[in-house]
Amino acid sequence: MGFKWLNLCVAVLFLCPLKAGSIRAQCTQPSFASRNVILTAEHLSTQSFPDGSTVTFDCVIGHKPADLKASKSVTCRGNQWTRLELRCTRKSCGDLVDFLNGRYEMTGNLFGDTAKPVCDKGYMLAGQETTRTCRDQGWDGRDPLCEPVKCTAPPAIENGQLDNEPLESYEYLQVVSYRCNGGLNLIGQSTLHCSEDGTFKPDPPKCFDGCPTPKIPNSKRTGGKSPPYKLGHFIEYKCDDGYTMKGKGYIICRANGWDPEPPRCISKTEMISCINA
The phi and psi torsions of 209 (rounded to 5 degrees) equal -105, 15
Q: d(Cα 101, Cα 116) in Å, to the nearest integer?
A: 14
Average pLDDT rounded to a whole number, residues 17-33: 69
The pLDDT tens digits of the residues spanning 46-75 come to: 999 999 999 999 999 999 999 999 999 999
Q: Name the band, by pLDDT with cuts 50, 70 and 90, for residue 210.
A: confident
% of residues, the chain, pLDDT over 70? 89
pLDDT of 7 higher than 50: no
Q: d(Cα 166, Cα 177) in Å, to the nearest integer?
A: 10
pLDDT of 239 higher than 70: yes
pTM value surpassing 0.75: no
Indicate the residue type of 151: C
